[in-house]
Amino acid sequence: MPTVLLVEDDERISEPLIRVLRAEDFDVVHVAAGNRALDALDDARPDLVLLDLTLPDIDGLDVCRKIRTDHPDLPVIMLTARAEEMDVIVGLNAGADDYVAKPFRLAELVARIRARLRVADQTGPMARPSKLHGAGIELDLDARRCHVLDGDDARTEVELTTKEFDLLALLMMQPGVTLKREQIMDEVWDENWWGSTRTLDTHTSTLRRKILDDTDPPSKIVTVRGVGFRFEP
């Protein structure tokens, strides 16, 4: 039974959500503060974290950053009443894998949780080398580490979220091949993903900035308008 750590201080949201999750065969550990969430990570060993952005003690973004540092592969879905594009970008930069705005439909949230937990190997089942190289990027698939060469050929490690890493790995494994948006969503977000693909654009934007692909137009992850994206090595 998958364990979900719910970090939410509003009982009007947490109580019905707990009931629904338990009815859907999830084990739910609920805390109402950020520090308690960090303490619960080792004891509860959750498979996924539902994290409210606004908490009574410390900011949810700080909690997310700490989770990402200590548990880099632990999926985090951020819950927030703020849904402006900049807030979404900030949340994803902090390490969240997904971003759900309140009020949300419980059925949709459960579907997103299942999508995060269904894929055992989030970079896909295809055979692959342990490292990928191209466009000044080295991606270590086993260690899940990314290094980038800057303009002075200095090798620097950059921190990627789970989805950013999986997205980059998928594109780099097929250099020069244009992947359709729907194919990327199927491979990285799960084949049963439903809803807007806007999250793909947001992840691509932040990923480009991290791998020094912020030229206009980008030269490493190329947008093929109306189709999808292509990695140019």
41-63 pLDDT, tens digit per residue, is 988 889 999 999 889 999 888 99
Q: Residue 54: its pLDDT value, please?
A: 85
Main-chain dihedrals φ then ψ at residue 184, nearest 5 degrees: -65, -45
Last residue of a domain, one of 118, 149, 174: 118
123: confidence class by pLDDT, cuts 50, 70, 90? very low
Whether 15 is covered by a domain: the verdict is yes
Whether 125 is covered by a domain: the verdict is no
Whether 187 is covered by a domain: the verdict is yes
Q: Assign residue 151 the CATH number of its domain.
A: 1.10.10.10
Whether 212 is covered by a domain: the verdict is yes
3 state DSSP class of 211: coil
Mean per-residue pLDDT, 171-181:
87
Whether 124 is covered by a domain: the verdict is no
144-152: Cβ within 8 A, 24+ apart: 144/72, 144/73, 146/210, 146/211, 148/210, 148/211, 148/212, 150/212
126: confidence class by pLDDT, cuts 50, 70, 90? very low
Whether 222 is covered by a domain: the verdict is yes
Last residue of a domain, one of 94, 118, 142: 118
Last residue of a domain, one of 118, 141, 163: 118
Is residue 145 located within the same domain as residue 223?
yes
Structure tokens at 57: 């003690």
Is residue 46 located within the same domain as residue 19?
yes
CA 10 to chain CA mean position, Å? 24
Q: Residue 21: its pLDDT value, please?
A: 94
65 vs 196: CA distance, rounded Å:
25
Structural domain range at position 42: 3-118
CB within 8 Å of 200: residues ≥ 6 apart: 167, 181, 184, 185, 189
Is residue 86 located within the same domain as residue 144?
no
Whether 141 is covered by a domain: the verdict is yes
Residue 195 confidence (pLDDT) above 60: no
Structural domains in the chain (count): 2
Whether 123 is covered by a domain: the verdict is no
